[in-house]
Amino acid sequence: MGCENHMERETPVANLQVLLISFGPLILIGGVCLYKGLRNRQRARASTEWLSVQGNLLSFEVTKSTIKHQTHYYPHLEYEYTVGGTRYTSRRISFGYLAYDSEDEAKSDIERRVHGNPVRVYHNPKNPKDAVLICDDAGGSVVLIVVGVMLIVFPLLFALYFLLPR
């Protein structure tokens, strides 16, 4: 008798378990990206219905980040506003992801969209601590959604390809 007769064949269930263990983290990360992207879009849409008050810009700076020879500039600001006699501060500009190719581009876009000082602050009437300066989806949500879908779909397609009988 040859050794090949005593070898166990891998079952589709065993293959599926190996693939899920291998691709599980990618699918999980994809799910988180998809959730965050969809949530940002939904919250940006909801913020267009929020109440607004006048606020004061406390600080505004642009930071530079270089990763693998690619440089991006990120705006950071802090503002204060008062709702119902309570003073709040926030740093959230929008529910999107703001990144620019130059410092000047970051500054001019924020100055154009935020309109100087005092600023218009849009706050959630159910939770006034929840506020933004820009109501639309400032960006990045679509990227998160696309990346999330890709990280979920491609591993599943790959798994199906190897699990389906030929």
Each residue's pLDDT tens digit, 71-107: 999 999 999 999 999 999 999 998 877 888 999 999 9
The answer to whether residue 2 scores a pLDDT higher than 70 is no
* Rounded Cα gap, residues 99 and 108, in angstroms: 13
Of 58 and 138, more confident: 58
CB-CB contact of 55 with 4 (8 Å): no
* Rounded Cα gap, residues 129 and 79, in angstroms: 12
Reduced to 3 states, what is the DSSP secondary structure of residue 141? Answer: helix
Q: Which of 74, 39, 56 is nearest to 115 (CA)?
A: 56
* Rounded Cα gap, residues 48 and 84, in angstroms: 20
Helices (H), the chain: 12-47, 103-114, 141-163
Domain residue ranges in the chain: 19-48+139-166, 54-135
Taking the model in full, what pTM does it have?
A: 0.72
| pLDDT confidence of residue 130 | 94
Amino acid 163 reads L
Model confidence pLDDT, tens digit, residues 106-132: 999 888 888 777 999 999 999 999 999
| pLDDT confidence of residue 11 | 59
